[in-house]
Amino acid sequence: MQLEFYKYQGTGNDFVMIDNRSEFFPKENTQLIAHLCDRRFGIGGDGLILLENDSETNFKMVYYNSDGNQSSMCGNGGRCLVAFAKKLNVIENETTFIATDGLHHATIADDGLVSLQMIDVAEVKVSSDHVFLNTGSPHHVQLVDDLENYNIKENGAAIRYGDLYGKAGSNINFVKQIDDTTFSLRTYERGVEDETLSCGTGATAVAIAMNVLGKTDASSIDLNVEGGKLVVFFEKKEGQFTHVFLKGPAEFVFKGTIEI
């Protein structure tokens, strides 16, 4: 069978997109999803996303990591799916869709940048050398001295598989402060089991964690990721973060078919 796919990337976090409104895709086939995400034997991607019909919103997002397993929210993937929905004429420049962590509102600006509303965050656990919070996916956030030369894969895997997070694991973000409102981060992603060029829920987690740690009092924070730049903005009231938005590019790369 010939499978039609679209490839998208958001700051270098790349995804295989499939229009599954007709529900043809074999969603339980973990091996097939991992194969499609494989960079040597398949199409290649950090994850695979299905766009499906939803009775109450514009569409449904179903997200899989490149290991083939369905997972929690993907911020960059959500932004790319919004751009994909526009390409398919499912939406125009504004949408509400459903994902695993609930409803998401998003807009596409004239310059193509996609702003995606993320979940509200009320609980942020601060430890001596790291912060843990859930921004739709679980994130460990840790400041490091030499981010450029830091071994993300080795140190990330050690924390992800260590005692802190048990079987479920976590995504691991290493961070360096650049100025009052800017941070650089590199992320080890669970389910990819490697560093990716960007992680949207990770950038969101870093922005909130840096505010909680008092590293910034800005409510709009610039994040440098390996694949580009993201902005996270939010409202903060009595320790709760609401109206949290992740903004950045979401770009169509190519379209193709693959024999499955």
Nearer to ligand LBFN2T5F, 92 or 153 (CB): 153
SS3 at position 242:
strand
> Do 7 and 254 meet the contact criterion of CB atoms below 8 Å apart?
yes
Least separation in angstroms between residue 4's CB and ligand LBFN2T5F is 23
Q: How far is the CB of 171 from ligand LBFN2T5F (least distance, A)?
A: 5
Find out whether 53 is annotated in a ligand binding site.
Answer: no
Give min distance, CB of 72 to ligand LBFN2T5F, in A.
5
65 in a known ligand binding site:
yes
If the CB atoms of residues 193 and 260 are measured against ligand LBFN2T5F, the closer one turns out to be 193
* 190 marked as binding residue: yes
Of residues 150 and 165, the one with the C-beta less far from ligand LBFN2T5F: 165
* Nearest distance from C-beta of residue 257 to ligand LBFN2T5F, angstroms: 25
Tell me the β-bridge partners of 139.
133, 171
Q: Is 200 annotated for ligand binding?
A: yes
Long-range (24+ apart) CB contacts under 8 A made by 166-173 are 168/138, 169/138, 170/132, 170/138, 170/139, 170/140, 171/137, 171/138, 171/139, 171/140, 171/199, 171/201, 171/202, 172/139, 172/140, 172/142, 173/139, 173/140, 173/141, 173/142, 173/199, 173/202, 173/205, 173/206
Enumerate binding residues for ligand LBFN2T5F (CB under 6 A).
Answer: 13, 65, 71-72, 74-77, 137, 171, 189-192, 199-201
| Cβ-contact 98, 61 below 8 angstroms | yes
| Closest CB to ligand LBFN2T5F among residues 123, 259 | 123
Residue from 143, 199, 225, 244 carrying the catalytic annotation: 199
Give me the residues paired with residue 237 across strands: 240
Residue closer to ligand LBFN2T5F by CB (options 201, 211) is 201
Strand partners, 171: 139
201 annotated among ligand-binding-site residues: yes
Q: Which of 48, 74, 114, 143 is catalytic?
A: 74
Catalogue the long-range contacts made by 159-166 (C-beta closer than 8 Å, 24 or more residues apart): 159/188, 160/188, 160/190, 160/193, 164/132, 164/140, 165/138, 165/140
Minimum distance from residue 69 beta carbon to ligand LBFN2T5F (Å): 8
Is 40 labelled a binding residue? no
Known catalytic membership, residue 199: yes
* Beta pairing partners, 125: 132
Cβ-contact 74, 200 below 8 angstroms: yes
Positions at the binding site = 13, 65, 75-76, 171, 189-190, 200-201
Instruction: Please list the active-site residues.
Output: 74, 199
Positions at the binding site for substrate = 13, 65, 75-76, 171, 189-190, 200-201
